[in-house]
Structure 1
């Protein structure tokens, strides 16, 4: 595997919402070399709002106490200028969560106030080669806002997290067949990281007893694949919150690491994963919309997997999630114009 790092000194990473529980689950994995490799030194900037600086000091103490040899500096800050200066990787974990009784347009308006200035800070202070992953929800539309405000950074450098949904889909199929998740390949998450997303197993394969088989053939249950499977993956985040009374921080952190590791080192031959990208119009999706696609990655370059067969059932679900994303985008643009 070859890294896309330049090998010239430490990799500079910023994590926003760094005092939160996803960042807390994420930091050890990054700082231990699990994501960018065991030879890559790191400098990590931790950005959060001013009242959380005390918490960040505690996080810094813990990183120091882990005695991780790759970490060459950890800097807690409430300043976007400090946080985004010359960074190589930006992980936007922080966002305004939906509160009880909050309408979606109110949530979008609140997040515009966060992601518009952060996009402007990216534009002004970050390296133009910076790789960007938006995690905070609504992730697709927050990514769109960010990109709108950082026009000189290449469009292909903006991504949002649908790897958590992808991993959930793999987990459901593996559990159903009583096989290891590593035996399940090429599931797809289309569209929005929301309850309209389309988890698609039509291109998926499974390895059962050493034999590669289409998932549909192995499961022999089209009804489950078209109904319960889709619904479970769509609503999994809400189910975790209902059971745990907290969001899915551990699995989200793992998915962030999977997403960035694949971007850094590439996907395996004949395998693909799911990422939210700025659409180039592939599969009839509106150009410029941030939409989750099946992708392959080589030498740091993300390519949408082309020419997959789309039946009427799939097209309907792909269009439904696109419609929601267009509505979100329009609401976000309205909120941006009134800022």
Structure 2
């Protein structure tokens, strides 16, 4: 058995974390022989609830879970981290303008980025889940200048999984038979779910998605809208946000960072854009198709982009630029 790794989950008393922590603690994410110390951060009023979560984790009697540290203090939560999953954020309240939401979250993620800089290992892998995830991730990365920007990513795997599942259901195959869908851009309703490079395994042979589905109008219309608006649809039906599927996507994302992606497959992640890929502007956290090896991601290069895709990729980039510029104005830099 190796030494325990230190894994932080913020918003640890919330419902996404409640679906997430068991999977992490039993070895689904970092490996079946990797002991774990869980650091659980939440705001002070949530500490009694967090205590109940700790009791449940203890009662699971999990062999890999070596220690659990519940806290409301960043200097405790961020110390010597190997992985940080930043779930907690200020949710949008009724009547709240997007600008107000951004302002509140800039304060949270500036503080957490500063704590990463001060207390975490420089090798820490940081996944931002709390919305607006792309811009929150960028603020955290900017606030931790000595940690490589490549170590920061935001969650678009949920959108990726949604797109994969929609195609699979349409073709009547398991989701594992659909690969290489792409989510471009922002984890918002401007994201672009792209299936121009997607392959579907039907009856033992791989077909291009458009050939497998045989309904171009659906793939360019309702399919895109369904994936873009799926989160809102879940909230409308459930009266709560998508916690189970978000937790599964977080596990998928972090497991791929730790263990790598399969040969010939790529997944979607919000990562730092340095302006060299697909005409996406510099200094954004933008969702790209990536492959991962040895805990390092690489954007999949050389995919053909048609005019339909280009317009949608540019539209989501424009939204991210506006979000970034608004958020940075609150940083006072």
Select the residue among 8, 13, 29 that pairs with 1:14: 8
Match of 2:114 in 1: 120
Match of 1:146 in 2: 140
- Rounded to whole Å, the distance in 2 between the matches of 1:233 and 1:8 is 40
Deviations 1:151-199 (CA, angstroms, capped at 9, x unpaired): 0001110000000000000010011111100000000000000000000
**Unmatched tracts of structure 2, length 5 or more:** none
2:65 maps to 1:71: yes
Match of 2:45 in 1: 51
Match of 2:312 in 1: 317
Match of 1:287 in 2: 282
- Rounded to whole Å, the distance in 2 between the matches of 1:294 and 1:126 is 28
Secondary structure in 2 aligned to 1:302? strand
2:303 maps to 1:308: yes
2:219 maps to 1:219: no
Match of 2:331 in 1: 336
Deviations 1:212-239 (CA, angstroms, capped at 9, x unpaired): 1101111111110100010000000000
- Rounded to whole Å, the distance in 2 between the matches of 1:248 and 1:8 is 34
Match of 1:298 in 2: 293
Does the CA contact (< 8 Å) of 2:235 and 2:241 recur in 1?
A: yes
Match of 1:26 in 2: 20
Match of 1:4 in 2: none
Match of 1:107 in 2: 101
Does the CA contact (< 8 Å) of 2:2 and 2:35 recur in 1?
A: no
- Rounded to whole Å, the distance in 2 between the matches of 1:171 and 1:139 is 22
TM-score normalized by structure 1? 0.97
- Rounded to whole Å, the distance in 2 between the matches of 1:260 and 1:174 is 23
- Rounded to whole Å, the distance in 1 between the matches of 2:303 and 2:46 is 46
2:322 maps to 1:327: yes
- Rounded to whole Å, the distance in 1 between the matches of 2:294 and 2:285 is 22
Match of 1:129 in 2: 123
TM-score normalized by structure 2? 0.99
Match of 2:80 in 1: 86
Select the residue among 178, 181, 187 that pairs with 2:175: 181
Q: State the superposition RMSD in angstroms.
A: 0.8
Secondary structure in 2 aligned to 1:283? coil
Secondary structure in 2 aligned to 1:297? strand
Secondary structure in 2 aligned to 1:118? helix
- Rounded to whole Å, the distance in 2 between the matches of 1:334 and 1:201 is 36
Does the CA contact (< 8 Å) of 2:8 and 2:78 recur in 1?
A: yes
Runs of 4+ in 1 over 3 A off after TM superposition: none
- Rounded to whole Å, the distance in 1 between the matches of 2:177 and 2:66 is 37
- Rounded to whole Å, the distance in 2 between the matches of 1:103 and 1:286 is 26
After TM superposition, give the deviation of residue 280 of structure 1 in Å.
2.0
- Rounded to whole Å, the distance in 1 between the matches of 2:170 and 2:213 is 8
Matched positions, count: 332
